[in-house]
Chain A
Amino acid sequence: DQQVKQNSPSLSVQEGRISILNCDYTNSMFDYFLWYKKYPAEGPTFLISISSIKDKNEDGRFTVFLNKSAKHLSLHIVPSQPGDSAVYFCAASLDYTGRRALTFGSGTRLQVQP
């Protein structure tokens, strides 16, 4: 049972346009959400996060929106650049006693066309 789902395996956008990556989750106990970016043959790199007490967090061209009632978050990249082409993983965090755990979605491959 996947608790974090990224239903779009791939997305293609034109350079300069907006990229919107979506993520849905089922566990209402998740209290932090993160986006990681992954290039081929490299490990995931942290991009941006949001606490469950907020509905928006912005960092430069990247904005994450959280809709708790819908259990949905999205990552907006504006404007998109060819260097943004990568696989993006959504992850949700839960605070168990003694540790935090990350549950990852299956990823969305973003291709930004020049």
Chain B
Amino acid sequence: NAGVTQTPKFRVLKTGQSMTLLCAQDMNHEYMYWYRQDPGMGLRLIHYSVGEGTTAKGEVPDGYNVSRLKKQNFLLGLESAAPSQTSVYFCASSQSRGFSNQPQHFGDGTRLSIL
């Protein structure tokens, strides 16, 4: 029972390089999310998707792009990495908008360092 799987787990980039973080979920969830977590701060929403083919901006979207071509996958792209994007990135998914018994399920994170 994999749940939410993030690839890669670690990555070091140089400033200006690009990369894509992959998130895959096997729970047939409609909603998917990308968060970043920085020291001393809570998780902040970057982008989210309410279904296949749809994406929207969250709290801190600048410098990132996303795509949801398949229901089970949600990709986060950095076109030109900057040191300020050094962070731990978490992907999450949920069945629907409701929260009473449908919380978000998180992957184990991708630790990204930009030099």
Question: By the criterion CB–CB under 8 Å, are B43 and A99 in contact?
Answer: no
Binds B, one of A12-20, A65-73, A78-86, A102-110: A102-110
B40 to A106, Cβ gap below 8 A?
A: yes
Majority SS of interface residues in chain A?
strand
In the complex, the number of residue pairs spanning A and B with C-beta atoms less than 8 Å apart equals: 59
How far is A61 from B59 in the complex, measured between Cα atoms in Å? 34
Q: How large is the interface on B (under 10, 10 to 19, 20 to 34, 35 or more residues)?
A: 20 to 34
Which chain A residue has the least Cβ–Cβ distance from B109? A43
Give every chain B residue within 8 A of A49 (Cβ-Cβ): 99-100, 103
Return A76 CB to nearest CB of chain B, in Å. 19
Most chain B CB within a 10 A radius of its CB, from A42, A49, A100: A100
Q: What would be 25 A-B contacts, judged by CB atoms less than 8 Å apart?
A: A9-B40, A34-B99, A36-B106, A41-B108, A42-B109, A43-B90, A43-B92, A43-B107, A43-B108, A43-B109, A44-B90, A49-B103, A51-B100, A89-B43, A91-B42, A95-B97, A98-B56, A100-B99, A101-B45, A101-B58, A102-B43, A102-B104, A104-B42, A104-B44, A107-B42
Taking a contact as CB atoms closer than 8 A, the residue among B31, B42, B107 that contacts A99 in the complex is B31
B98 to A: closest C-beta gap in Å: 8
Query: Interface residues of A, CB < 8 Å — how many?
Result: 27
Query: A: which residues have CB within 8 A of B?
Result: 4, 9, 32, 34, 36, 41-46, 49, 51, 89, 91, 93, 95, 98-107
Interface string of B81-115 (1 = CB under 8 A from A): 00000000010100001111001111111000000
How far is B111's CA from A41's CA once the two chains are assembled, in angstroms?
9
Cβ contacts under 8 Å, B106 to chain A: 36, 43-45
Tell me if B4 counts as interface (CB < 8 A to partner A). Answer: yes
Query: What are the residues of chain A within 8 A of B41 when measuring CB–CB?
Result: 106
Rounded to whole angstroms, the CA-CA distance of A102 and B33 in the bound complex is 10
Closest B residue to A39 using CB positions: B108
Known pairs A101-B58, A104-B44, A105-B42; A32 contacts B100 (CB<8 A): yes
